[in-house]
Amino acid sequence: MLRVFFLLLIGSGLPLRADQEEPRILILGDSIAYNCGWTVYVESWIRAQPGLARVTIVNAALPGETASGLSEPGHAGGGFARPDVHERLERALALVKPTLVLLCYGMNDGLYLPSDPERTRAFREGQLRLHAAGVKAGAKVVHVTPPLFGPDMKVPPVYDGVLETYAQWLVSQRPAGWLVVDVRPSLREAVAAAKRADPKFVYAKDNLQPGSEGHLFIAQAVWAQLAPMMRWKSDAAIGDPAKWRLLQQSAIILRDAWVTKIGHKRPGVAAGMALPLAFARSAALLKEYFKP
């Protein structure tokens, strides 16, 4: 039976992985993922799945990062160009050895400017490169569409329309076998419902970075589509808020350690501790998190 299984794997062209029995999840994205908000809600639901309580989850997102490799002139006051995920992608995949990669890019790729064919092309090519690299590394690749920009404005901003075209292109790749989570429709509905319940509700004070409720809305939109893709139980609960904070502390410690270990060119990002120490700190926090 094992021999048959081995032959089926060889015949499928899928690489055999030393870590195949232990899921390893890598999250790459910009500041909205780096924040450890929506990503930690999703982590809490993953860890609630049978057998996945202590699965390896690495958030290696980086503020300001793009998939397109573009950067506007004078970014950060001329201090540095926007980081490009492709500069560190190969190292991240080699170090983490993920079986699942979650990618959430687009917010920075249009440089907050009106639609432009060259920027659109660069975004698409960047996504194609990300997808190909993840598949080559033997991982499932899930693309998450960029969240909303400026949903609190009375008139929808032009830039959110740019993000919508990016999202529509990602969704159009589904017939080619891509796994794509489109958060935007349900995110719009969640924001509209919150505003009906409380006219003073604000999703993002700066039109970009969601507040805590906004991060929860993103997480719910991601989970509703990701769970069925991975055949996970979608009805997992977040749990006690105090417990959730333990999980967030663990995620931040591991994020900083992994981002430092992988390496990057973005100034101003806090250096993390050595990975062995980060693993120990995380393990202690997870032990407390799972304590009845």
Q: Please answer whether residues 69 and 86 qualify as being in contact, where contact means their C-beta atoms are separated by less than 8 angstroms.
A: yes
Q: What is the pLDDT of residue 12?
A: 32
Read off the tokens for 241.
């808020």
Q: Where are the alpha helices (DSSP H) in the chain?
A: 2-12, 31-34, 38-47, 89-96, 117-136, 158-171, 184-197, 212-230, 241-262, 275-289
Query: Does 17 score more than 70 pLDDT?
Result: no
Question: Looking at the predicted structure, is the pLDDT value of residue 168 above 60?
Answer: yes
- What's the rounded mean pLDDT across residues 99-123? 98
Q: What is the mean pLDDT of residues 278-285?
A: 98
Predicted model pTM: 0.91
Query: How far, in Å, are 63, 75, 85, 122, 263 from residue 260 at the CA level?
Result: 13, 22, 14, 27, 5
Residues whose CB falls within 8 Å of the CB of residue 101, separated by 6 or more in sequence, listed in order: 25, 26, 27, 28, 93, 134, 137, 139, 140, 141, 142
Burial of 240 (0-12, 13-18, 19+ CB in 10 A): exposed
- DSSP 8-state class, residue 239: -
* Average pLDDT rounded to a whole number, residues 62-76: 96
Residue 18 has pLDDT above 60, yes or no: no
Tokens standing for 171?
Answer: 């969704």
With a cut of 70, say whether residue 13 has pLDDT above it: no
Angle at 275 between CA 244 and CA 132, to 5 degrees: 85
Contact 61, 78 (CB under 8 A): no
User: Would the pLDDT of 62 be above 80?
Assistant: yes
Which pLDDT does position 19 carry in this prediction? 36
Please give the single-letter amino acid code of residue 131: H
Per-residue pLDDT of 175-191, as tens digits, reads 999 999 999 999 999 99
Please state the rounded mean pLDDT for residues 31-40: 98
Helix (H), strand (E), coil (C) string for 160-196: HHHHHHHHHHHHCCHHHCCEEECCHHHHHHHHHHHHH
Domain annotation for the chain: domains and CATH numbers: 19-289 (3.40.50.1110)
Pairing of strands 140-144, 100-104: parallel
How high is the pLDDT of residue 167? 98
Q: Indicate the pLDDT class of residue 141, thresholds 50, 70 and 90.
A: very high
pLDDT, tens digit, 9 for 90 and up, residues 40-54: 999 999 999 999 999
pLDDT at 20: 42
What mean pLDDT comes out for the span 102-107?
A: 98
pLDDT at residue 132 greater than cutoff 90: yes
* Mean of all residue pLDDT scores within the chain: 92
SS3 123: helix
> What was the pLDDT predicted at 16?
34
Residue burial 5-39, b: 16+ Cβ < 10 Å; e: rest: eeeeeeeeeeeebeeeeebbbbbbbbebbbbbbbb
pLDDT digits (tens, 9 = 90+) for 195-235: 999 999 999 999 999 999 999 999 999 999 999 999 999 98
Q: What pLDDT, on the 0 to 100 scale, is given for residue 135?
A: 98
- The confidence score (pLDDT) of residue 11 equals 34
